[in-house]
Structure 1
Amino acid sequence: MTAFRAFRIHQDDAGYHAGIETMSIDALSPGEVLVRAEWSSVNYKDALAGTGKGKILRQFPLNGGIDVAGTVVASTDPAFKEGDKVLATGSGLSETRDGGYSEYVRLPAAWTVALPPTLTTREAMIIGTAGFTAALALLRMTENRQTPALGPIAITGATGGVGMLGIDIFSGAGYEVHAISGKPERFDFLRRIGAAQCLDRHELAFSGKPMESARYGGLLDNVGGATLAGFLPSIAPYGNAAICGLAGSPALSTTVMPFIIRGVSVLGVASAGTARDVRDEVWKRLAGAWKPRHLDVICTREIALHEVASVFETMLAGGSFGRTVVRIAG
């Protein structure tokens, strides 16, 4: 069978190690849809997996990369045929099955998404898991009656992938967005992609009171911990806090007051195992009314497959900025 390159991760007698290897299609994880990969992306989870600094992989060896987009070269499922453009995010990639840092990827049909005609494979990977997560948060919030009339949406971790794409998506959907970040030198950039206001997280003054004035209609939180606890008392009646990250802390110390006095809802956003019908709906919206308007601005770096390991340490150290896409084909 065809030999190809892949960024493969091992844990064996030699320890934890990863790098570009040559492998065959027969060695790939099982699935109904064989894809020639064109683009992937680099996420924080990929950096943890590629360096071994996070327990991401549940079996070894596996190819890294939680996102992939490309062209179908073979399929045993009638829903997909040779030549179709497809994508996949999460769904066990680089966790329980071979991921997208590979010239060929074999996917289960149940988790393969037809690429919407208004997106290129490169655009889909700039969006990737990060943009999918932000859009899933907005879907959950709107399904729970979030509207722009409730007030501004605060987005924490605003200079991360989810934060940036969240600013673009939420503002494009008609919401006033207040970006929260500890990097004031990036505020002009955040305003460029849709933030109406930018707040330095180091200057946030939470009173510690169980209730504060209702300054925000809702919250997209990537941080957790004291930041999430600090914003909850400021959410307007029947607003929503969508939680998708724990960059600050997984702990949460708060009171029930915002929930029982103002009817605030906390919505968990778990993008990796999203149900297929919801997944399709999110990508439909990302290709339509919620398509980010600043993808070429948010994508700040493009690298080749053999360069993926070179960006991991910088990302884990907090030194990366914007989305990095990985060119697989060519």
Structure 2
Amino acid sequence: MIMSIGSEQRKQEACVLLYGVSSFASFLAMKREQNQELAAIIGLLHNYYFFKTGVKEFPGPNSADTVRPLLRDLNMFTKEELTQILKAIFHQGDRNKVQGPYEEILKDAQVLQLYLQNRGCNVTQQDTKRLRNVLREMTIPEDFLEEVDYSSGAEVHQPTDKRGKLANIAEAFGKENIIGLPGNERYREICKYWPDQGIYKVLQNNWCAAFVYYCCMQAGFLLPIRYPNADFRLAGVGAWLEWAQLPETQFFYFDGQEGFTPQRGDIVIYEKLLTNDPHDHTGIVLACDDKEILVAEGNRDNQNYSSVFYRDRWHCVYGYIRIANDYEFEFNGEYTPIS
């Protein structure tokens, strides 16, 4: 899998980090009487998404989602083993929580790798207790400095108009008339979040939702490529609709619902606009009047280019997603890897 990483520099970095974490995970598994091979595999794959795409956000959820089909297709693991691997990778960022044995092995292996590869560096407050415990477990002398938090704990964050920023970004990119071909630099940027083999071809004439995802990420609405336990990735329109109607989001509105009127920065979901399929297209609203909405879309009319133009407000529009400006991704449920 490492050999499939395109960048030689990232390939070298991957070898150092992933093999290092894998070795520590295997050793910790031996000490804790867990499956060493399983722990080594978890360590080897824990940050696979970053080294595949170069995207740093959500290493746990995105790496778990990226390696899931690869491991499944190998037919080497039982369902229980596959679940353990994916859960450990998914939860790697929950360092302040105590979870299952393999989740804890990976988190401890990560802080060990970081510390032993960077002696003399300061250790974050989040990792101090974990590192101290694992060093004592391995009878390694403690010799590190804890980062000091000088914040008062009462910082005031000014509200940011992320929806306005989303609209500005979508409008600018829409006007670029991006062509959905590998030779177009912006199209490659849009595709970079999706780790599938041959993604340029996969998304060709089918990248309206990927355009929305890209614009959201640039605007600060940060989301993993698949909301945990969802059926589909956010490269598909249905995934956006599913996410927006979750109890923890409730961002979906019908036009006129309780006085709702489309606004700049909303995401529009179309219904059988271009095909006979439900929720078959999406875009970002830039303006609205009684009859029309001005939208920025990737893959306009499935013609494989971006554009800014007017659509009939009442024709084949299912509804709208209005993301709260203060929305931050947080998942507190039980992660259940899909088969």
Name the TM-score, length of structure 1 as normaliser: 0.28
Q: Which has the higher contact order (CA 8 A, sep 6+)?
A: 1
For the pair shown, which has the larger CA radius of gyration, 1 or 2? 2
Larger helix share, 1 or 2: 2
Name the TM-score, length of structure 2 as normaliser: 0.28
